Amino acid sequence: MNSSGKKLSFAARAHSLPRRREFYLALAWTAPFYLALILSLIALVLFLMTPEKMQAFLLVGLTAAALALWAGSFFSRRQARCPLCRATPYFDNGAMAHEKSFRLYPLNCAHTNVLRTMVIQSFRCQYCGTPFDLLKENRPPKDDPDAASANS
């Protein structure tokens, strides 16, 4: 709620991220992991329909690629931390989720956040409920005298 009593939009309430590098790195590992996962499921269906040597090689290769990408995704998602509560919005740690957290069934909150970031560049931390926008610029605090003198 602002002073006029109107509820601000998600974009207006979203916080900027002081350290975005870990979030971009997690997305760079997780997007190809999703792709490899979908392709290996397609390869599995192809193999079950026509069990030939070529389909078997395709299935094994894509599954190996998906596993390697999953490992990179796993460790990079654990590094991306919420600046407010220090939890991992891209990795579910088993703690109770905030009442405002959101998940697309059957995915968990972490993968929902990754997909949301890929589509609308913003997500909500499922532990403290704070919305974040990856594209929002960081601004110095208004009452910071150093920042004020640097601007004048």
Which positions lie near Zn ion, rule CB under 5 A?
Answer: 82, 84-85, 125, 127-128
Cβ distance to Zn ion smaller for residue 29 or 127: 127
Q: What is the CA radius of gyration of the chain?
A: 20
Min CB(140)–Zn ion separation in Å? 22
- Decide whether 18 or 106 has the Cβ nearer to Zn ion: 18
Q: CB-wise, 37 or 85, nearer to Zn ion?
A: 85
- Kindly tell me which of 62 and 133 has the beta carbon lying closer to Zn ion: 133
CB of 25 to Zn ion, least distance (A): 18
Query: Whole-number minimum distance, CB 128 to Zn ion, in Å?
Result: 3
- Least distance from C-beta 101 to Zn ion, angstroms? 10
Q: How wide is the angle at C-alpha 27 spanned by C-alphas 127 and 111, nearest 5°? A: 45
Question: Which lies closer to Zn ion via its Cβ, residue 6 or residue 86?
Answer: 86
Contact between residue 123 and residue 77 where contact means Cβ atoms under 8 Å apart = no
Please state whether beta strands 131-133 and 122-124 pair in parallel, antiparallel, or not at all (unpaired): antiparallel
As measured in angstroms, the least distance from the Cβ of 87 to Zn ion is 5
